[in-house]
Amino acid sequence: MTDFDYRAIDDVIHSRVRLAIMSYLMTAGSADFTALKKETKVSDGNLSTHLSKLEANGYVIVEKSFVDKKPQTTVRVSDTGREKFKAYVDSLAALIGTA
């Protein structure tokens, strides 16, 4: 028997790439698109898709600007994202503890 609730697993974060993005941003605070692409090792399109999902759910804040006349996308984790991430880690810990 277990009291672990599978519904506690956050589907938005649970994807491997989105988990990588959130984990990285939790300590980095913010990162540009290039840095995230390098860290997550995914294509531009794939990263954009995952960032869009995180942004749509309010987990990250995406800001676009121009640096030296070149477009730059900066991503930072939101307060909601920070809370959800902590809850996700807690749920994993609970899962391990109750298996």
Partner 1 sequence: MASESTKSQAVENLAFIREMMEAGQRQTRFNATYMIVWGTLLAAAFLAQYFEALGYFSASIPTIWLPPILIGWAASIYIGIKTNTATDKNNPVIKAYSTAYMSIGITMSFYFFATLAFGTFDPVTITILACGLYGAVHLINGVVTGLFIFKATAVGWWGLMAYFTHDASHTKEMLLVLAGACIVLILVPAVLIRASRSEVLTEAKTSV
Alpha-carbon distance 96 to 93, whole Å? 5
Shortest gap between Cβ of 10 and partner 1 (angstroms)? 12
Q: Which residue has the tokens 């899962």?
A: 95
Residue 41 sits at the vertex; the CA angle it makes with 37 and 47, to the nearest 5 degrees, is 50
Q: Smaller CB distance to partner 1: residue 39 or 48?
A: 39
Alpha-carbon distance 30 to 63, whole Å? 10
* 34 lines the binding site for partner 1 (CB under 8 A): yes
* 92 lines the binding site for partner 1 (CB under 8 A): yes
Q: What is the dihedral of CA 55, 26, 42, 94, to 10 degrees?
A: -90
Q: Of the candidates 11, 39, 51, 58, which one interacts with partner 1 according to CB under 8 A?
A: 39
Binding site for partner 1 (CB under 8 A): 1-2, 4, 16, 19-20, 23-32, 34-35, 38-39, 61, 65, 67, 72, 74, 76, 85-86, 89-90, 92-93, 95-96, 98-99
